[in-house]
Structure 1
Amino acid sequence: MTFRRIGPWIAVLIGALYFLLPLVATFQFSLSMLRGQWSFEAYRVVFADPRFRETFGFSVIAALSTIALGALLVVPTAYWVRLKLPRLRPVVEFVTLLPLVIPPIVIVFGYLRLYNSSSFLPFTGSIWGTNILLIFGYVVLSLPYMYRAVDTGMAAIDIRTLTEAAESLGARRGTVLWRVILPNVRPAVLSGAFLTFAIVIGEFVIASLLNRPAFGPYLQLVGANRAYEPAALAMIAFAVTWASMAMLNVVGGRRQGGIAGAAPRAPRRLFRRRERTEQP
């Protein structure tokens, strides 16, 4: 009986040590750039490197663009499938899971083969076109996580009732999606956005083969030529990823609390518009 109580805690402790000890060793190594003392010299060198600022800024912009494009693609699709095409849900779910099965290197080689400078859609013929192709690749990689988050959020609300109520008040379908559905699934969209941000920041294959100055290839380049700076970069990337995960947990907690304690929201402007039309 005692072992049944202590056994799970022992397994958790072993798992925590398995993951935390390498992180502690990496962090300690990143502080050992100056002999005989611990210092943040490696972090100072990393932050002073203009390539770090350039690549990290590029990846942040790419991540924000990927989040915006992915939300514009996923939210209307998930809404329409749940509202009008429920029989296509298995097909859509299968399509959104394909990026987990197909390796990124296969995807990017397909992009290069189809959208090279000699094709009828020469995305790789210019820097802007290559950047757009990179964002498209990131949208594909983040599609399973973004779609699952949004679809789960829509499953928690009655979108059919909300849509019918808003349309009875005079709202069009675009207004319903923007002012009624999106505010109720906003925490789910933010959850998918944080996962997307973490994926884009550390992605290497697509950015490397498209020759774009992203943070992932910069990590690989520094790791091949330096000793202590790669450890500092690894800790920075780890901090960014776990900050995204912490924000996801915060958003998820607020979402659960909102669902348990309040009804779905509908915009007041729709009710005011209906009241004005009903006045003599």
Structure 2
Amino acid sequence: MSLWTRITGWMVLLFGLGYFLLPLLGLFEFSLKARRGVYSLDAYAKVIGDPEFQATFAYSVMMALVTIIIGVLIVVPTAFWVRLKMPWARPYVEFITLLPLVIPAIVIVFGYIRLYNTSSFLPLTGTILGTNILLAMGYTVLALPYMYRAVDTGLRTIDVGTLTEAAQSLGAGWFTILGKIILPNVLVAVLSGAFLTFAIVIGEFTLAALLDRPAFGPYLQRIGANKPYEPFALSVIAFGITWACMGLIQLVTRFSKHTKAAS
């Protein structure tokens, strides 16, 4: 590699880092100016101490956990069965899982409202529980591309056919195969999809706002319209949560590689 190529590579890297980091540094610096003339964490203290922040964040965390469970229950058996018995269906399944990236969330939520309103055969929007179920399903749809690809990538690293045949020869049923053999072998991939799902749910606005649920995304929008510094602090917190999830994915992946190497 020539010297000029290395210099060009470093210049592109530094430009990219500056393009992303400088606005974030400006955001963080402004969030510290809640107290006139000095830097302070007053905006963060007000946000964290706000009961509405605590309630909305706890609600979004709960919905994220529910979404992860639903996603795992749907995606793991589907990806396993497609890889084992229906390889011809793989392009069609991948196409279906990519649809949430093409169809806007606002289209999905208006479809839910139109189909499950109080005058329909299944009036889910008429109760809090029903609306929460709709929201969890909507989050599952939005996270489907990331969860499916994470699990499918994990399944590629193992010999699904041999593991299944070995388990069946020992008398294991399908639930045992999925729960005790396949899932532990793709656990890192599932956790990667789970962290991505968590980050998506925490920052999602459209579904929660139009379904009128007390989630973190609508709270971030509301406080941004009424407060000068707290929205910037919330943005930094949300960004930190997202990058924490990405860091956990890298940590879990690296730990898994070290564990396999040691064994």
The alignment's TM-score, normalised by the length of structure 1, stands at 0.91
Partner of 1:244: 245
Q: How many residues align?
A: 262
CA distance in 1, matches of 2:42, 2:259: 45
CA distance in 2, matches of 1:221, 1:41: 19
Identity, in percent, stands at 62
1:123-202 to 2 correspondences below 5 Å: 123-202=124-203
Partner of 1:96: 97
CA distance in 2, matches of 1:53, 1:145: 28
For the pair 1:18 / 2:22, whether they are aligned, the reply is no
3-state SS, counterpart of residue 77 of structure 2 = helix
When residues 182 and 87 of structure 1 are mapped into structure 2, their CA distance, relative to the original with a 3 A threshold, is same
Q: What whole-Å deviation, never above 9, does each CA across 1:92-136 have from its counterpart, x for those lacking one? A: 100000000000001111111101111001110101100010000
Partner of 2:70: 69
Shift of 1:256: 4.0
Q: What whole-Å deviation, never above 9, does each CA across 1:206-231 have from its counterpart, x for those lacking one? A: 00000000000000001111110001
**Is the 1:156–1:259 Cα contact (8 Å) retained in structure 2?**
no
CA distance in 2, matches of 1:251, 1:88: 30
**Is the 1:59–1:214 Cα contact (8 Å) retained in structure 2?**
yes
- Structure 2 residues not aligned, in runs of 5+: none
CA distance in 2, matches of 1:33, 1:58: 27
- Structure 1 residues not aligned, in runs of 5+: 263-280
Partner of 2:81: 80
Shift of 1:3: 1.4
RMSD: 1.1
The alignment's TM-score, normalised by the length of structure 2, stands at 0.97
Report the AA paired with residue 28 of structure 1: E
3-state SS, counterpart of residue 248 of structure 1 = helix
3-state SS, counterpart of residue 186 of structure 2 = helix
Shift of 1:166: 0.8
**Is the 1:188–1:255 Cα contact (8 Å) retained in structure 2?**
no
